[in-house]
Amino acid sequence: MNYLRTMRRVLPTVETFVQGIRAGNRVVLGQAITLVESARPDHQALAQEVIAELLHPTNSNPVRTDVHPGEQQPTTNNPTLRIAVTGAPGVGKSTFIEALGTHLTQQGQRVAVLAIDPTSSVSKGSILGDKTRMEQLSGNDMAFIRPSPSGESLGGVARKTRETILLVEAAGYDTVIIETVGVGQSEIAAHSMTDLFLLLLLPGAGDELQGIKRGIVEMADILAVNKADGERVKLANQARAHYLNATHLFPPKPNGWTPKVLTCSAEQGTGIAEIWQTIEAFKAHILDNGFFQENRKQQAGYWFKETLQAGIQKAFFSHPKVRKQLETLEPAVLAGQMSPFAAAEAVLKSWSEKF
C-alpha cells in the first residue's frame, strides 16, 4: 500500500479524484478504490465526498470524450449492467469471466471485474486471490480488474465492493462483473448489488456435490454448465436437462424471468456469445417491465440501512462508556451472576443517556 503511505502526507482533492475518474484514468480510479477500502476516517470521509460528487444528479452520466471506436455512451436508456458470477471453486469462474470479458471488449465495451471474497482477510487462505488470474483480461486496457477488498467481515467486504461499483461505473465501465467465491453467504451479498445472477455449474455433478445450496440455484437468472468440451459434452447436456427440469419447479421470480440453462466451454470460448445474448435479452426484459429500476431502488434502500446499521454498531461498541460496561457486565453474564437481558438493558440504557 505505497499509495496510502504517500496519501498520508497530502490527500488529493475531491476535484482531482472526480476529474480523473470521469476521464477514465485508471490510476486515479485505483487510488479512489484504495480510499474506499481504507479504514482511516479521513480517507473514508474523502471517499464519500468523491462518490457523492460523482453521483450528483446534475453531474452524473457525463459525456465521455474517451469513448473507443464502436463503444456506446452509457445513457439512462442504456444503463450499466451489474452481473454476479458465482459457482463452486474450480468450476471455471475466472476462466469464464476472462472469456466473457474478452468477448465484450472485442465489441467495444468496457468491463470491470470486482470480487467478493471474505476469505481474503486471511490472505493465505484466500480462495480467489492466490492464483494468477485472468491474465489476458488484465492486460486489456478496456478492462479493469480489482481483487476483493480484505475486511474483517463479509458485510464490510461487501459494502466496499458496493461503493467500488459506483466508482467504476463513473469511470465509464458499462458492464460490472462481481465474482464471488461460491461457498455460501458471499453469493447473497453479490445478489444484493447486481441486476443479474449467473451461476456456473459443473457437468455431471449434482448440487450437493458442488456444494451449492438450493436457494442459490433458485437465485440464478442464468445457469451455465461450464466445461462442455471433449468427453464432457454429453455430461454437460445431461446436466443442462437436469437443471432445466429443476428450474421449472422453482417459484416464479419477482423479475418475471424464467431462468435459462445453457452450456459453455470457457476454455474454448464456445457458448460464450450465446450466454451474452441471453444476458442482453434478460437486460431488455427487466428494463421493459420496470424491474431493473425497481430493483436498483430497493438495493439502494437496503445498502442505506445496511451501512447505517454497521455504522451504529461500530460507534456503539467503540464508545468508551459501552466498552467499560461490557468489561464488567460480560463476565457477570458468563458467570451467571446477571441475566443476559438485564445486562444488555443496562448497556443500552447507558448508551441512550449519552444523548
Is position 125 an interface residue for ligand GDP (rule: CB under 6 A)? Answer: no
Q: Which is nearer to ligand GDP, 54 or 199 (CB)?
A: 199
| Long-range Cβ pairs for the range 63-68 (8 Å, 24+) | 64/22, 64/24, 64/172, 65/23, 66/23, 66/24, 66/172, 67/172, 68/108, 68/110, 68/142
Beta-ladder partners of 223:
199, 261
Candidate list 15, 19, 59, 89; residue touching ligand GDP; CB under 6 A: 89
Say which residue the cell 504517500 belongs to: 6
Please give the residues from 213 up to 232 whose contact with ligand GDP meets the rule CB under 6 A. Answer: 226-227, 229
Question: What angle do helix axes 26-37 and 2-9 make, rounded to 10 degrees?
Answer: 80
Report the SS3 class of residue 271.
Answer: coil
The least distance separating ligand GDP from the CB of residue 173, rounded to whole angstroms, comes to 21
Q: Which is nearer to ligand GDP, 221 or 229 (CB)?
A: 229
Candidate list 22, 43, 82, 93; residue touching ligand GDP; CB under 6 A: 93
Is position 86 an interface residue for ligand GDP (rule: CB under 6 A)? Answer: no
Output the CA torsion 164→288→198→178 (10° steps). Answer: 0
Is position 267 an interface residue for ligand GDP (rule: CB under 6 A)? Answer: yes
29 closest CA partner among 172, 190, 128, 178: 172
Is position 95 an interface residue for ligand GDP (rule: CB under 6 A)? Answer: yes
The least distance separating ligand GDP from the CB of residue 229, rounded to whole angstroms, comes to 5
**Residues 198, 301: Cα–Cα separation, whole Å:** 23
Contact criterion met (CB below 8 Å) for 278 and 262 = yes
Candidate list 94, 109, 140, 325; residue touching ligand GDP; CB under 6 A: 94
Q: Which is nearer to ligand GDP, 206 or 254 (CB)?
A: 206
Q: Is the dihedral of CA 206, 264, 250, 221 positive or negative?
A: positive
Is position 91 an interface residue for ligand GDP (rule: CB under 6 A)? Answer: yes
Candidate list 168, 266, 322, 347; residue touching ligand GDP; CB under 6 A: 266
**Residues 299, 272: Cα–Cα separation, whole Å:** 28
The least distance separating ligand GDP from the CB of residue 71, rounded to whole angstroms, comes to 27
**Residues 137, 152: Cα–Cα separation, whole Å:** 29
Only segment of 88-96, 104-112, 157-165, 280-288 that touches ligand GDP (CB under 6 A): 88-96
Q: Which is nearer to ligand GDP, 54 or 91 (CB)?
A: 91
Which residue is nearest to ligand GDP, using beta carbons?
A: 92
107 closest CA partner among 158, 72, 147, 159: 72
The least distance separating ligand GDP from the CB of residue 253, rounded to whole angstroms, comes to 25
The least distance separating ligand GDP from the CB of residue 98, rounded to whole angstroms, comes to 8
Q: Which is nearer to ligand GDP, 29 or 189 (CB)?
A: 189
**Residues 258, 249: Cα–Cα separation, whole Å:** 11
Is position 265 an interface residue for ligand GDP (rule: CB under 6 A)? Answer: yes
Only segment of 93-101, 184-192, 209-217, 296-304 that touches ligand GDP (CB under 6 A): 93-101
Strand ranges (E), the chain: 81-86, 111-116, 143-145, 175-180, 196-201, 222-225, 260-263
Is position 90 an interface residue for ligand GDP (rule: CB under 6 A)? Answer: yes
Q: Which is nearer to ligand GDP, 81 or 88 (CB)?
A: 88
Q: Which is nearer to ligand GDP, 94 or 148 (CB)?
A: 94
The least distance separating ligand GDP from the CB of residue 133, rounded to whole angstroms, comes to 7
Residues that bind ligand GDP (CB under 6 A): 87, 89-95, 226-227, 229, 265-267
